[in-house]
Amino acid sequence: MLSYSEWKHVFKLDPAKAISDEDLEHICESGTDAVVVGGSDGVTLDNTLNLLARVRRFPVACALEISNIEAVTPGFDCYLVPTVLNAGDARWITGLHQEALKEMGPALEQEKVLAEGYCILNPDAKAAALTEAKTEQTDEDIEAYAAMADRLFHLPIFYIEYSGTYGDVRMVQEARKALQEARLFYGGGIRSKEQAAEMAAYADTIVVGDIVYEDIKKAIQTVKAVRP
Ligand code: 1GP
């Protein structure tokens, strides 16, 4: 199984959304590099465990993106911890993380845990509202956020997030220029193989979410764009 630094394409599955066994098989056997389990609403320990068990029937890497501390369970290949660098509410930058570590600090030694420095750029995304993200950002702002994630805080992942809408490729290009070590993730509104290829030209990893629940065939085609 590939480690996060080799991922070019991942599917993000929301444990709160229903997916048939057949569609899940298509996703897991599509040639994608990993399945990331994560969502913003209604994520529970029950639905997380259920999806983990179903994905585990296939030989694909499976990561948990933590949004809710009650839903964290052992058994994933790695754990992604978002910190929203452009959040207006500081709880989403360090607050919830510090609270979580009070309870779960020892788990850091035992599990593969990776911080993701998010920059949320779609003002209509649920996560933007929740974190009060400052989504109006210029090219220079993005370059500086990327440099901050990469060389100041040494985060392993910088994530340009347009969840729900296809983003501005210029922002991904700006981030690309500024990054030296961190992996660049792009996610948001990828609904075709052309869009997948366009973002994958600059991002190390593209994240494909909603289309899985809207058009499974189109979702699978996004893999071919980056893993022909
Ligand atoms: C969401 O970046 C991911 O966190 C993927 O976005 O659901 O819009 O594909 P979509």
- Average pLDDT over every residue of 88-114: 86
69's tokens: 């501390």
d(CA 43, CA 139): 34
d(CA 7, CA 206): 8
Of 124, 72, 112, 73, the residue nearest 96 (C-alpha): 72
Q: 102 CB contacts (<8 Å, ≥6 apart)? A: none
Q: If pLDDT is split at 50, 70 and 90, which confidence band does 126 have?
A: very high
Q: If pLDDT is split at 50, 70 and 90, which confidence band does 107 have?
A: confident
Virtual torsion, Cα 75, 41, 131, 52, nearest 10 deg = 10
* Ligand 1 neighbourhood includes 219 CB (under 6 angstroms): no
- List residues forming the annotated binding site for sn-glycerol 1-phosphate: 12, 159-164, 189, 209-210
- 140: Cα separation from own chain's centroid: 23
* Contact by Cβ (8 Å): 66, 81: yes
Q: Where are the domains of the chain?
A: 4-226
Question: pLDDT digits over 149-199, tens only?
Answer: 999 999 999 999 999 999 999 999 999 999 999 999 999 999 999 999 999
Worst-scoring range by mean pLDDT, 9-23, 87-101, 150-164, 185-199? 87-101
pLDDT of residue 56: 98
- 152: Cα separation from own chain's centroid: 21
On the question of pLDDT at 102 being above 90, the answer is no
Of 156, 168, 78, 63, the residue nearest 117 (C-alpha): 156
Nearest CA to ligand 1 atom 1: 163
The percent of residues above 90 in pLDDT, for the chain, comes to 88
Q: Which residue has the tokens 């993380």?
A: 97
Probe target for ligand 1 pocket from 67, 172, 192, 208, with the most ligand atoms within 8 Å of CB = 208
How is domain 4-226 classified at the CATH fold level?
TIM Barrel (3.20.20)
Indicate the pTM of the whole model: 0.97
Distance 11 CA to ligand 1 centre (A): 9
Ligand 1 atom showing the smallest separation from residue 211 Cα = 9
